Chains A and B, each alone.
Chain A
Amino acid sequence: MDILKDIFTLHLVLSTLRLATPIALIALGETFSERVGIIHVGVEGTAVLGGLVSALVAYFTGNAWLALIAAPLAGGLAGGLHAVWCIRFRANHVVSGIGINILVAGLALFITSSVWGWRGTSTYAPTLNIWYISCAALVIIIASQIFIFRTKWGLRLRVVGEKPEAADTAGINVHRTRYIYTILNGVLCGLAGAFFFNSVGRFTSGMVGGRGFIGIAAMVIGNYSPVGALGAALLFGFIDALQMRLQSFIPSQFSIMLPYLLTVLVLAFFIRRANVPAALGKHYIKQ
């Protein structure tokens, strides 16, 4: 019982919320882009980019707020790049996303070593209290839930991902809609990246550590709804927080596996329920 008391503390609750925040943001971004039919596995790299840009701006300007604004902008740019590949040039969505992951990984090594002289790490720079971002994320998620299911723009974006022909005949611009929400996905991932930077105080190339992919898993488990994604992100956040506590009791090599193991298990059992948009990953070619 004493062990349990040591594990389940207020600290664990706060850790859960903290660790869930970036996963929830990424899952929300992916929910938007997949709802309009664009798969984006480059969310991992986009979050890394957000962290890198945060560190750069904070380092050079000394202003943590500017860094917080710059990261989503950079993320939006990466989202826009993905959108151009997938929509304008009809590239395979997954390949384009992997491209972004690799591109950012290379960019991070290049920039860190040329700016700070260390491969893959920055120096410490001014940060913000991460709870600002967590609270903002909560507001954004609830607003998104209302936006997607209760507004006309939400209806339109869902139709674009389900049956673009129907959207087109109703006078909705399919390509423009897809651009907008793919860029929004990038913005949210950039914000997640800023969160990672602010929680550590510096950039390290491994700091996202697969949570972008876990974000995609959370989106699937959340069944393509923002609140569902939040729930799944909280689950992952809790497991992550728990494993950190457990490191005092069991070898860390094992406890660190927990979130990833959970991802595999949950996906294996939940994927059947998934509410996959019918036109996901399909290019829309006007006749």
Chain B
Amino acid sequence: MSEFAVEMRGIVKRFPGVVANNDIDFDLKQGEIHGLLGENGAGKTVLMSILYGLYFPDEGQILIDGTAYSHYRPAQAIRLGIGMVHQHFMLVPRLTVAENIMLGQEPAKSGLFLDRETAIRKIEAFSEQYGLPIDPRARVEQLPVSEQQRIEIIKALYRGANTLILDEPTAVLTEQNVEHLAAAMRKLKEEGESTILITHKLREAIGMCDRITVLRKGTVVGTVNAQETSERELAEMMVGRDVVFTIRRSQAKGAPSPTLRVRDVDAKDDRGLPALKKVSLDLRKHEILGIAGVQGNGQAELAEALTGLRPIQSGTIALHDRRLAGKTARDFITAGIAHIPADRHLRGLVMDFSLRENAILGQHRSKPFSPHRFWQSPQAITGFTRDIIEAFGVRTPSAATLARNLSGGNQQRLIIGRELSKDPAVIIASQPTRGLDVGGIEYVHEQLLKMRDRGAAVLLISMDLDEILMVSDRIAVMYDGQIVAIKKPDETGRRELGELMLSGSSPRLQEQENQEA
């Protein structure tokens, strides 16, 4: 038995336009819990998909228990003792728990008939041994997510996994169930299992892991012992202490004046829980307001509320003096609010439509494109699309190409072109540079700054603190559905913002409050 359950050496994985993994070294000791920490898009899931055989690496070597393997598929990874619990469960809802678990390795009576009872006994034994309570006879569709996750873990163990990959397992769990999972992971460790925990939550990484490897933008920032690190150190590693980009923030040309007023807005998330709690802010002409925050603190809901996509429970949203709260997304568009959505594929584009059709989405009713109630003007639409392609440098064979066939960066250019060519008063930009390469990122920043200088009010929501610091004129920090602070970029730093993002308050802030009290 090798000292390492898994060793990955110099792993490189390229996708069109992105290097998802750039020369990554990663090792997992026998019987340890190793956290893989990083922001979205840092390359964690890609690295683990490579280990599980879902992708082949472009370069690099993988050793499993000391032996090198290449070009293997998940079926072989399972035989080598690697089990993966995917973020989206691989369970058949209509079948029973036992059927799901034994699938592929079914015990048989007289070599022919399914031996459910043997499988159930075996599953119950695993359930007992690892402290993962499940009911093998229940149908999966009737079970809560936390139990489905336990089923997935037992499924991997049943198939003989001694190395478990858990992909963001806590993302779907409540606080209490996270505790249960942590206990189960300790039990797995006692039983000699090696575990890789993919997460972007610092506290969990420190609480659950032995060692933590931090990825950032496809490279390893470092590996630290969980007991010798702090949330602060990890946060710095995650967001990066070296400033890669030079700050190009320039003074806005005009004076800021309030454009979009948001007052005491409450909104719920998709599960019906409060996501925005009395949010008030002003978007001002000639100004970029950056929203910093750890993912899931209400930023997505804020963007949706300000574009009319998510109904608000109470509060007001007014553009100049026009009240928009309670109106439809169409009213928000006609009022002059442009939206660069976080998910290009879901909300930004219709992937199977051509660039022409995508270019006029949202303004397809307007006169030049639809001069008559029933007919569109193909010439006007093609001309407009060509203008966007030219002005925003969309690399495409033609205006009739399907959006699906463009690279991520070019898709984003098309969306930005469409939104900015409306000459909007307000721009809501959610994660506008996610998944883009350096050139693409610079381009997006230039465009946002240009719109600001022309007098637009810009809201920039980003997970990337560098980006926020680089282009914002003011920075608002969101924590738990609230704006907890608004700062000038010159008067704050990564450290203070990080504190605010993690806890909703900073030591300096607390000091001030204490003094005031």
Contacts and interface: CB of A to CB of B under 8 A. Distances in A.
Contacts of A154: 114
Nearest to A166: B90
Interface in A139-187: 146, 150-152, 154-156, 158-159, 162-163, 165-172
Contact of A162 (B86, B95, B106, B108): B95
B99 A169 contact: no
B94 A172 contact: no
17 contacts: A151-B112, A152-B114, A154-B114, A155-B99, A155-B114, A158-B95, A162-B95, A163-B90, A163-B91, A166-B100, A167-B103, A169-B74, A169-B78, A171-B74, A172-B104, A278-B93, A287-B55
* B interface, over-half SS: loop
A157 to B, nearest CB: 11
B54 A152 contact: no
Contacts of A159: 92, 95, 103
Nearest to A154: B114
A168 B90 CA distance: 10
A155 B116 CA distance: 11
Given A171-B75, A171-B78, A172-B103, A278 B94 contact: yes
A8 B127 CA distance: 59
Contacts of A278: 92-94
Nearest to A173: B75
B113 interface: yes
Contacts of A163: 90-92
A156 B102 CA distance: 10
Interface string A245-286: 000000000000000000000000000000100100000000
A152 B95 contact: no
Interface in B73-113: 74-75, 78, 84, 86, 90-95, 99-100, 102-106, 108, 112-113
Contacts of A156: 103-104
Contact of B113 (A151, A166, A169, A170): A151
A81 B148 CA distance: 39
Contacts of A151: 108, 112-114
B92 A152 contact: no
Contacts of A165: 90
Among A150, A151, A154, A171, find the residue whose CB has the most chain B CB atoms closer than 10 A.
Answer: A171
B101 to A, nearest CB: 10
A27 B75 CA distance: 34
A171 B104 contact: yes
Contacts of A158: 92, 95
Interface in B174-196: none
Q: Among the interface residues A156, A166, A168, A169, which one has the most CB atoms of the partner chain B within 10 A?
A: A169
Interface residues of B, number: 25
A166 B93 CA distance: 11
A150 B95 contact: no
A168 B78 CA distance: 11
A146 B113 CA distance: 9
Given A150-B114, A171-B78, A162 B92 contact: yes
Interface of A: 146, 150-152, 154-156, 158-159, 162-163, 165-172, 275, 278, 287
Contacts of B86: 169
A281 to B, nearest CB: 17
A255 B103 CA distance: 49
A163 B99 CA distance: 13
Interface in B127-151: none
Contacts of B78: 169-171
* 4 pairs of A and B residues whose beta carbons are closest in the complex: A170-B104, A171-B75, A152-B106, A166-B90
Contacts of A169: 74, 78, 84, 86, 90
A278 B99 CA distance: 17
Nearest to A162: B92
A18 B159 CA distance: 48
Contact of A152 (B90, B93, B108, B159): B108
Given A163-B90, A166-B90, A168-B74, 18 more contacts: A151-B108, A151-B112, A155-B95, A159-B95, A162-B93, A162-B95, A163-B91, A166-B91, A167-B104, A169-B74, A169-B78, A169-B84, A169-B90, A170-B104, A171-B75, A172-B103, A172-B104, A287-B54
Interface in B55-69: 55
A155 B113 contact: no
A278 B91 CA distance: 12
A162 B92 CA distance: 7
A146 B78 CA distance: 29
Given A152-B106, A152-B108, A162 B114 contact: no
B90 A155 contact: no
Contacts of A167: 103-104
Contacts of B103: 155-156, 159, 166-167, 170, 172
Residue among B93, B95, B99 with the highest chain A CB neighbour number at 10 A:
B95
A110 B54 CA distance: 50
Nearest to B88: A165
A166 B114 contact: no
A171 B83 CA distance: 12
Contacts of B91: 163, 166
Contacts of B90: 163, 165-166, 169
B94 A162 contact: yes
A31 to B, nearest CB: 16
Interface string B44-57: 00000000001100
A152 B84 CA distance: 23
A156 B92 CA distance: 11
Contacts of A172: 103-104
Nearest to B91: A166
